[in-house]
Amino acid sequence: MAKPLSIAAIGFWHVHASDYATAAQQHPGTELVAVWDDDEHRGRQAAADYGVEFVGDLDELLARPGLDGVTVTTATNQHRDVILRALAAGKHVFTEKVLAATAVDAEELVATAAAARLALVVSLPRLYDGYTRALEGLLDSGALGALTYSRVRLTHDGWVAGWLPERFGDPEAAQGGAFIDLGCHPVYLTRLFHRADPLTVAATYGHVTGRPVEDNAVVTETFPGGGIGVLETSVVARPHAFAVELRGTEASALYDGERLLVSGGVDGEGWTELPVPEAVPGAFDQWVGHIHAGAVAEVNLRHALELTRVIEAATVSAATGTVVTLR
């Protein structure tokens, strides 16, 4: 058996930092060896929690020849700098979404990783879930006909229940609010279901709690062939909700977070519940595989690049009250 890859966790700013540090510690092909954070207290606490070394100098950590890769869960505005430094040091990178806040920066990171022959993978977890596989199967089989409308809603109560850290409301560190974080999932799922990149983006942002970043958002996209996608996200809605609605020229499919239903007949009556298959190996597993294979995560990175383009366009749309054309 090959020696496990040596991984460092870079930054514990994001709420999912512990998820990826745990993955690095528990995956049979990796071992977590160190933690860095620009907040020394937070970093030392995380290192103690995982029983690994805290390193206060990022460049010193990245220069270690025995270190194979890093997970990046810093503040969003640090992604470009930290990932470029990691790639320059010859380290593979697994990063929290978004890859970067602007398309220019995201494209630079992807190109730099490719030129260095290093594996760069972005955490887009819902791509690999069972319900996503089932919905893809319905679309690919033609059971729904041509997809004319989609709605993906993902919400939680982070800022009404008080568990979402206040740092997520810092417009500089977070580079946005609910949509650049939680809203990422509806973005890449909508692109997947429509099997195309969106043509236009129109966004409406709400500020229920009065923070400088949005906590409530609705985004509408148009696609080639006339399809429309509606993306909804909120961090001020209780209880947590996740739902997918796909409407086609032949039938419709609904997923309510537990059940997958497909309409039957011309009149749309007689809904049938379909089984939801198991998830496929997720982005972290794929990252480890790409490292060993020396391969580029082409599908993952294409989703990541388009995700950043939509986030950037939605920010402009919400600020100006205009529809942004992407292509």
The per-residue pLDDT for range 266-312, each reduced to its tens digit, is: 555 689 999 999 999 999 999 999 999 999 999 999 999 999 999 99
Options 3.40.50.300, 3.90.1720.10, 1.10.3720.10, 3.40.50.720; CATH for 5-118 is 3.40.50.720
Question: What would the two tokens of residue 5 be?
Answer: 């890859």
Q: How far is CA 150 from CA 193, 223, 312, in A?
A: 8, 11, 21
- Strand 252-255, strand 69-72: pairing: unpaired
Q: Does this chain's domain 5-118 share its CATH topology with 126-279+311-325?
A: no
Which of the two residues, 29 and 1, has the higher pLDDT score?
Answer: 29
Q: Once rounded to an integer, what is the mean pLDDT over residues 52-78?
A: 98
* DSSP codes, 306-326: HHHHHHHHHHHHHHHT-PEE-
Residue 274's DSSP bridge partners are 260
Options 2.40.50.140, 3.30.1490.190, 3.30.360.10, 3.40.50.300; CATH for 126-279+311-325 is 3.30.360.10
Q: Is 155 helix (H, G, I), strand (E, B) or coil?
A: strand
Q: pLDDT averaged over the chain?
A: 97
**Does this model's pTM top 0.95?**
yes
Measured distance between the N- and C-terminal CA atoms of the chain, rounded to whole angstroms? 48
Burial (CB count <10 Å: 0-12, 13-18, 19+), residue 119: buried
Q: How much of the chain, in percent, has pLDDT values that exceed 90?
A: 97
Of 58-62, 170-174, 266-270, 320-324, least confident by mean pLDDT is 266-270
Q: How confident is the model at residue 98 (pLDDT cuts 50, 70, 90)?
A: very high
For the chain, give percent helix, strand, coil, nearest 5: 40, 25, 35
Q: What pLDDT, on the 0 to 100 scale, is given for residue 2?
A: 78
Domain boundaries, the chain: 5-118, 126-279+311-325
Measured in residues, the chain has a length of 327
Q: What pLDDT, on the 0 to 100 scale, is given for residue 147?
A: 98
Q: Once rounded to an integer, what is the mean pLDDT over residues 221-233?
A: 98
Q: How confident is the model at residue 252 (pLDDT cuts 50, 70, 90)?
A: very high
Other residues' Cβ atoms within 10 Å of the Cβ of residue 234: 26
Q: How much of the chain, in percent, has pLDDT values that exceed 70?
A: 98
Decide if pLDDT at 182 tops 90. Answer: yes
Decide if pLDDT at 202 tops 90. Answer: yes
Look at residues 103, 131, 109 and name the one whose alpha carbon lies nearest to residue 122: 109
Q: What pLDDT, on the 0 to 100 scale, is given for residue 327?
A: 75
Burial (CB count <10 Å: 0-12, 13-18, 19+), residue 297: buried
Q: What pLDDT, on the 0 to 100 scale, is given for residue 265?
A: 59
Decide if pLDDT at 81 tops 90. Answer: yes
What angle in degrees, to the nearest 10, is found between the helix axes of 40-50 and 17-26?
Answer: 30
Q: Once rounded to an integer, what is the mean pLDDT over residues 208-230?
A: 98
